[in-house]
Amino acid sequence: MSSDLVSTNRRVSDRSMPEESQGRLIEVEQVSRYLWAAQAASGRRVLDAGCGSGYGSRLLATRGAREVIGVDIAHAVLEMSAPEMPDSVRLQAGNVRKLEFEDGSFELIVCFEVIEYVDDPLDALDELVRVLAPGGLLLVSSPNHGVTQPGNPCHVHKLGRDELETALVSRLSHVQLRRQHDFVASALLSDSTYHQGDGGVSDDLALHKLAADDPDGAIYTIAMASEVELPAMRDLATLGGTVGLKEWLSVIETQAATIADKDHQIYELQTRMEERERLTELLGEAEHRAGEVPELTQRIADLEVDLEAARSAATAARLEADQLDRMLIYGRRMLRYIRPLIKPLRRLRRKLRG
C-alpha cells in the first residue's frame, strides 16, 4: 500500500501498512487480536469497525465468518484494498460515530485500535452497541494510560482499563476484560512448524510462561461484552518474525543517542531560560531605578540650592569675621598707645580729688 494512503499526523502514522510491518511486533499485536476474535467469528455476520487496510476483515472471513463488513473513514485505503478481499468481505467508507446500518445488524463486532482516535469514544460505543444484534458479541481494544508510548499526536482520548469497563457495563450486561502485552519468546519447533506462517495454528505447541508480571502493566485492554453470557475464549499468543538482536541493539543505540541529544538540548534550553530570567530581573531593577531618576534629580536640585545658600551665608560670615578681626587688631593697637597715658591720668585725678 502506498504511504500516501496512510493517514499521518506530525509524521506519525496512525494506519498499519502490512508490507512494512510484516513479521514485526506491531503486526503481531494487531493480528493477535483478530486471531483471538476469530474464535467467535464462525457462521456470524461481522462488523470490523475501523478496519484500516482490511487485513483483519480478511482474517475473520478465512476463519469462518459468514459475512464481514469492514468500515473505515479512509475511502482511498479501502479502494486500494478491496480487490484483495475474498467474496465474503465488503469494505465501505463510514464513521464509527455514525454507522449507516440498521439496529441489531451484526452478531459479532470487532473494534480494535479505533476508539482512541475518536473525539468522543463513548459516542462510538453507543453506535457499536446500537448495531449489535441481540445476543451478539462486542470486542473492543484500548491502549492503557502510562504504559503505551506517550506523545502519539493521532491519539485523541484513551479509555483506561477501568474507564472502558465502566463504559461497557453501563451499556451491556456481561463484560470481561483481557490484557494484551508483548513478551520475549524462544520457540523449539519442527521444520514444518518453523515454515508455517499467515497465522497458522499449532495445537500441539505448548506455552510456558516463566515470569510473573503486574497485570496493570499490560499495554492494551481487550474487552468483550454482550447482553448474554459470554463465550469461552482461549488465551492466545502469536509468534512474529525472528528476533534480530543486532537490529534491536542498533535501534537502542540510536534511541540512546537521540535521548542524549535531547537531554543536551533541554540543558541548553534550561540554561538560556535561567539567563533570561536573570536578565529580566536585572532589567526590572534598572527600570525601577530609572523610575526614581526624576525624584533624585529634584532632590539634587534642592540640595544645590541649599548648598548655594550655605555658601552665601559662609561668605557673609567670613566677611563679618574678617571685619571683626580687623577691628580687634585696631583695638589692640590703640590699647598699646593708651596704656602709657593711663597712670599719669590716674595720679592727676587723685590730686584733683585731694
Cross-strand partners of 70? 48, 91
Strands 45-49 and 106-111: parallel
DSSP class per residue in 238-285:
---SPP-HHHHHHHHHHHHHHHHHHHHHHHHHHHHHHHHHHHHHHHHH
- Report the pLDDT value the prediction gives residue 57, as an integer from 0 to 100: 97
DSSP secondary structure code for residue 83 in this structure = G
Among residues 185, 181, 179, which one has the least CA distance to residue 239? 185
Instruction: Count the alpha carbons within 13 Å of 229 in the hemisphere toward its beta carbon.
Output: 2
For 105-121, the DSSP string reads -EEEEEE-S-GGGSS-H
Q: What is the DSSP string of 4-44?
A: GGS-EETTEE-S--HHHHTTSHHHHHHHHHHHHHGGGTTT-
Please name every residue paired with 67 in a beta bridge, in sequence order, or none if there are none. Answer: 45
User: Do residues 127 and 114 lie in contact, with contact meaning Cβ atoms separated by under 8 Å?
Assistant: no
Q: What is the average pLDDT across 157-183?
A: 91
pLDDT: which is higher, 42 or 351? 42
Total length of the chain = 354
pLDDT at 177: 96
Closest CA to 148 of 185, 184, 175, 113: 113
Cα torsion angle, 145, 228, 122, 116, sign:
positive
Per-residue pLDDT of 276-315, as tens digits, reads: 888 878 877 777 777 777 777 787 788 888 888 888 888 8
Cell numbers 454482550 correspond to: 226
Tell me the pLDDT tens digit for each residue of 220-267. Answer: 899 999 999 999 999 988 887 776 555 666 666 777 787 888 888 888
Q: Which three cell numbers stand for residue 116?
A: 482512541
Does residue 156 register a pLDDT over 70? no
Three-state SS for 291? helix
The average confidence (pLDDT) of the chain is 82
For residue 201, what pLDDT is reported? 66
pLDDT at position 3: 36
- This model's pTM is above 0.75: no
| Contact of 42 with 231, CB cutoff 8 Å | no
Q: Work out the number of other CB atoms within 10 angstroms of the CB of residue 71.
A: 23
Cell of 51: 478496519
Selection from 107, 53, 44 nearest residue 84 by Cα: 53
Written as one letter, the residue type at 114 is V
Question: What is Dmax (Cα atoms) for the chain?
Answer: 172
Decide if pLDDT at 35 tops 70.
yes
End-to-end CA distance of the chain: 157
